[in-house]
A and B are shown apart, each in its own frame.
Chain A
Amino acid sequence: MSNTPEPSNLPTSTSGPSEHDGSGEGSASVLLSLRGISKNFGAVQAIQNVNLDVVDGQVTALIGDNGAGKSVLIKTISGIWAPSSGHIYWKGEEIHVHTPRNATDLGIATVYQDLALCDNLDIVQNMYLGREETKFSMLDEIKMELATNQLLKDLSVSTVKSVRQLVASLSGGQRQAIAVARAVMRDSQLVILDEPTAALGVSQTAQVLQLIRTLSSRGITVLVISHNLNDVFTVADRIAVMHLGTLCSSGPASNYDTASAVELITTGHSSRVPPSLLTSS
């Protein structure tokens, strides 16, 4: 992989978040805003100078080729890794997420590509991990079990037999649903999903997409990574494209079609989208 040089003509705003893509979103407010985010692992520049606005209440799809830096970007937002440089703004205020706890406390919940569930724990234990309900400083298992049942029912996750099943015994789609439900349970304002449908069959994919719509209809902002452009155009209100570690384009989904998206993913450039949506040379 040949590293593209640091783009110098990028409109880096130093004065906090702004609607830099000029897509005329009007009243929509920006929930999360990234400015000049870079992350390197030793000599490897995983992401460089990323500027992205995640609009409140909308579903933003983050797309890009394998190794484009999508997972690294969301792990930076989630506090798994500190950015090497750059600024993150949450509702207009600069934040510093040093640990995953910082992010979850703000209301950012992330469902990682590798799901991050504990196989040896059951569904309830996973749902409440790190947020256990206690009574007289002992775990309140009954309360947690009832609430888990209710939440899964609310989200129409009906395929699990018992919430006391070990997560190890669940199918890929069920695990995905549990991971998403956990993000929802924590009263999150932003749910980040890293390739939620990657390992799923047709009907399970449909279920997860439905789940994303359910989140959106509850007013939760969603940032979803996907390789499946059909899925992307089905659920996304906005699209952001990464190419070789940079964010090359972002804007309302209506401005993109499959051909332009493919072109952006593979080359980082497209003449089919309005130039104002391109952030890289």
Chain B
Amino acid sequence: MSIIVDPVQESSFEKPDRSQLWYRRLLANQQFLLLLVTIAIFVFFAFNRHVFASAGEFGNNVTNFCTLVLLGVGETYVIATGGIDLSVGSTVSLSGVVGAIAMEHLAMHSELLVLSVGTVVCIGIGILVGVVNSALIHYARLVPFVATLVTWGAGAGMCLVLTGGAPIGQNSGAIALTVPKIWIFSYPALIIIAITFVAGLFLHLSRFGRFTFAVGSNAFAARAVGINVKRQVTSVYVLSGALAGITGMFVYMRLGSGAPTAGTGQELIAIAAVVIGGARLTGGSARLSGTVIAAWMITIVSSGLIFMNVSPNYNQVAVALLIATAATAQALRKSARQSS
């Protein structure tokens, strides 16, 4: 007996309300508003310092953006499950440092081999951190905040132990690779942008992504329909770790060395990007496009302030203001929805 009727058959059921005034729906769309604000910020900087709109400066921004965006992507997945990953900044440093040590040992081999091994090592370290995070969550029963706080501290400490505080290696060949080759993009930047794009499709169009949201929305309900909640949670922390590892490799290439503090503080910027992008910290709702736009916004605000001769010390203040604005806007929109 099947009561699932041919789905293609025309249904007289009321059509989904897609025709609603398009500009109102656009304005209610947080990603669109974010895009408008980002463009406005860009125009403001470019108007005041014309060089800001040059291809060269665009290229710099793309490179800066690439040190942040994958962390935001991983964090989006994690936050969609209702978790948080504080360890990504440390993972960037740690993977860069361990990768640098491995690459030092291979220095006499061809550059391609060295960099390939470095990349694999970096991703491996990231995955390892992700596995440890999920083990702490599932077996030590720590909440994600505490579990990833542990690995954050442990990772940062290991970096100092391994390096004695000084950067490891000097790889000018790696630096050369981060110079834009195709218009404003370097090859590694193109790879990172491609990964971001795929991760976005994966989050919003695949079953894996749907499960991610379901777990964050109602873990019991997810389990009741047969979703393996533990496996899903493990996967997103491993994904976040792996993306942090890739970022670690990118930062290594940019610096030409593995610096023990390369990723310090990046976890907070990544979380900021996710929050500004419109995700709910309680899980179940996030847009990867929002995270990406927010990451770009944070990037141009940081470099724009330098162009405006504002002390870089104000950078964090600016990011904090962005977070506050975004969170307030979200709260206001929510209460407006509820009262309407």
Contact = CB atoms under 8 A, between A and B. Distances in A.
Interface residues of A, number: 46
A170 B312 CA distance: 48
Contacts of B280: 120
A162 B3 contact: no
Interface stretch (A43-51, A126-134, A202-210, A228-236): A126-134
B207 A116 contact: no
B227 A129 contact: yes
B217 A132 contact: no
Interface of chain B, main secondary structure: loop
A162 B280 CA distance: 23
A104 interface: yes
Interface residues of B, number: 37
A145 interface: yes
Contact of B17 (A99, A118, A161): A161
A129 B1 CA distance: 21
A137 interface: yes
Interface in A118-164: 118-121, 125, 129-132, 134, 137-139, 143-147, 149-154, 161-164
Nearest to B1: A219
Contact of B226 (A114, A117, A130, A185): A130
Contact of A117 (B9, B16, B218): B218
Contact of A153 (B8, B11, B17): B11
A151 B1 CA distance: 14
Interface stretch (B174-182, B208-216, B316-324): B208-216
Nearest to B215: A118
A174 to B, nearest CB: 14
Given A130-B211, A151-B5, 15 more contacts: A78-B224, A116-B220, A116-B224, A117-B221, A118-B213, A118-B222, A129-B214, A129-B227, A139-B207, A147-B4, A153-B13, A154-B3, A161-B17, A185-B3, A218-B1
17 contacts: A101-B226, A112-B220, A112-B224, A116-B218, A116-B221, A117-B218, A120-B213, A120-B285, A121-B210, A121-B217, A129-B210, A130-B222, A130-B225, A144-B7, A146-B11, A154-B3, A187-B2
Interface of A: 78, 80, 99-101, 104-105, 110, 112, 114-121, 125, 129-132, 134, 137-139, 143-147, 149-154, 161-164, 184-185, 187, 218-219
Complex A-B, nearest 3 residue pairs according to Cβ-Cβ distance, in ascending order: A120-B284, A101-B226, A130-B225
